[in-house]
Every structure is written in structure tokens, then in C-alpha cells.
Amino acid sequence: MEAATLTSRTHLADDPQWRESQRARLHELQQDLLAEGAVAGQYLPELQARAATWPE
């Protein structure tokens, strides 16, 4: 499928303000999870190792 034929209604996902807004909400969720006792760092190295293999 050619790129030109790929129509999108996902325009919000290309809006920097919307991405920043979601980023803030996800950060707030992180803070809440930490405050509730979630433990950070257990999975991060494995996740980052997998992420390093993802094609750009």
C-alpha cells in the first residue's frame, strides 16, 4: 500500500500538543503508581534491551 493512500483520522496523534498532554497524563499515572507502592526498575533493563532491537 502506498503511503499516499493511507488516510488518517488519527490526526491527534500527530499533534504535538496532544502528545505532550498525553505525556503529562502518563507521567501523572506513573507518580500515582509509585505512591501506591509500585516498584520501579525491575523490568526496565529488559524493556530497554528489547526496545534497542526495534527498527526505526
Partner 1 sequence: MNRPRSRRDFLLDSGGVTTLSKNRDLLLDYLRMLEIQFDGAFLLPTPILGEIHTGDRRIDVITDRLLKAIGGSDAELEPVAATWRRAGELRTEALQHSRNPISTGDAVIVALAEERSVRAGVTIITGDKKDMDLLVGLTRRPNIAVDVL
Please give the residue ranges that form the binding site for partner 1 (CB under 8 A): 1, 3, 6-14, 18-19, 21-23, 25-30, 32-34, 36, 38-44, 47-48, 50-51, 53-56
* Cβ 33 to partner 1 shortest distance, Å: 5
Beta-carbon-side half-sphere exposure of residue 37 (alpha carbons within 13 Å)? 0
47's CB contacts (< 8 A; 6+ apart) are: none
The distance of closest approach from Cβ of residue 10 to partner 1 in the complex, given in angstroms and rounded to an integer, is 6
Tell me the closest approach of the beta carbon of residue 23 to partner 1, in angstroms.
7
Q: How far is it, in rounded angstroms, from Cα 23 to Cα 29?
A: 10
